Structure 1
Amino acid sequence: MIHKLRRSRQALSPAECAAVLERGTSGVLALSDSQGQPYAMPLSFVHVDGKLYFHCAKSGYKLEILAENAKASFCVIDQDEIKPEELTTYFRSVILFGTIRVLEDDEEKRSAIEKLTLKYAPESSPERRAAAIDREWDRLCMWEFQVEHMSGKEAIELVKKGKGVGNQFD
């Protein structure tokens, strides 16, 4: 069940959430196995058209969990500035809820990994990125995270000072 943000004044708009996801380079994916045991892991990601894409190996614990339960949550921290003199933190983050599926179709899988490599190596030539993908292809697993709910929040101090995402990056 998705809960409403209690401090709605601090909520980020959908556009601000998307901007956080575009800037983000990593996040934490949280899964839960069939016995309710949580498992969280840091991952690189790319956000495209309301979906996230991740890569991993073709075997491992997270794939075992995913086979039991496709529901997941993903968190990206955009800002985490400790202000000891104020006894607070100026934060900005986005949390997503949704379901994950393993991309089985080679065209879908190729498209997803190409988007991921472009995000992390934009200066690299298309040929170099393709060669890297080809080298790892047989060991590569790609996941698609279908976003069902997304919310973002920033510190009230950022809201009050007008340093929110919309003001800072417009």
Structure 2
Amino acid sequence: MFRPMRRHRQQLSQGDCAAILSRGTSGVLAVAGDGGYPYAVPLSYVYQEGTLFFHCAKAGHKLDALRRCSKASFCVIDQDQVVPPEYTTYFRSVIAFGRTRILEDEAEKQAAIWLLAEKYCPGDSPEHRQEAIRREAGGLCLVSLSIEHMTGKQAIELVREDRRQADLPL
């Protein structure tokens, strides 16, 4: 169902993809939008064990699209270094494909929002974090994206540099 990567030498391992998703702070969610147009929206997220979690308002384009079709993709750019003399960029990115689910179970919603709060405010005290969650959670809808397929790719120049550093043949 998913195409193999054409430039397989540039493909990242699943472990590298997971690491990028873990350290990233924003990505772009792409869904089937209104009138058959793709709808891609940047958002904050958290990644845990093959699942992405994010929040949204309880109404809007994104949520309408997710209710119509649970399939989505999510892209995170880990590196994008423009190299003008070479007319290229040294990039590293991941695209995850999967199905979304609007979280309904209260314990599951609390766990997801706690993960988001820990990621985006790591130095906060548990007490203050819980108070912020209590104050804000009523207006939020929490969504998960269970990853079914994930690929990552990096610029060939980064592949060559990695091989040089590991003292491997190019």
What's the TM-score bracket when you normalise by the shorter of the two chains?
over 0.9
Question: Per the alignment, do residues 29 and 163 of structure 1 end up closer, same or farther by CA in structure 2, a change over 3 Å counting?
Answer: farther
User: What amino acid maps onto 1:86 in structure 2?
Assistant: E
Contact 2:33 / 2:61 at 8 angstroms: preserved in 1? Answer: no
Whether 1:122 aligns to 2:132 is: no
> Larger deviation: 104-113 or 34-43?
34-43
**TM-score after normalising by structure 2:** 0.93
Amino acid at match of 2:126: P
Q: Which one-letter code corresponds to 2:18 in the other structure? A: A
> 1:44 matched to which residue of 2?
44
Percentage identity across aligned positions? 55
Q: Give the Cα–Cα distance (whole angstroms) in 1 for the partners of residues 62 and 88 of structure 2.
A: 34
- 2:54 counterpart of 1:32: no
Taking only aligned residues, the RMSD between alpha carbons, in angstroms, comes to: 1.6
Unaligned runs of 5+ in 1: none
Q: State yes or no: 1:147 paired with 2:129.
A: no
Q: How many residues align?
A: 166
Check whether the contact 1:97–1:148 (CA below 8 A) recurs between aligned residues: yes
Q: CA deviation at 1:33?
A: 3.3
- The equivalent residue for 1:72 is 72
Secondary structure of residue in 2 paired with 1:77: strand
Specify the alignment match of 1:134 in structure 2: 134
- Distance apart, 1:35 and its partner CA: 4.0
Write the distance in 1 (CA, Å) between the matches of 2:60 and 2:99.
19
How far apart in 2 are the matches of 1:14 and 1:145? 17
Residues 34 and 69 in structure 1, CA contact (< 8 A), matched pair in contact too: no
What code does the residue aligned with 1:52 have?
L
Give the conservation status (yes or no) of the 8 Å contact 1:33–1:69.
Answer: no
**One-letter amino acid matched to 1:27:** G
Q: Which amino acid aligns with 1:137?
A: A
In 2, Cα distance between equivalents of 1:150 and 1:27: 14
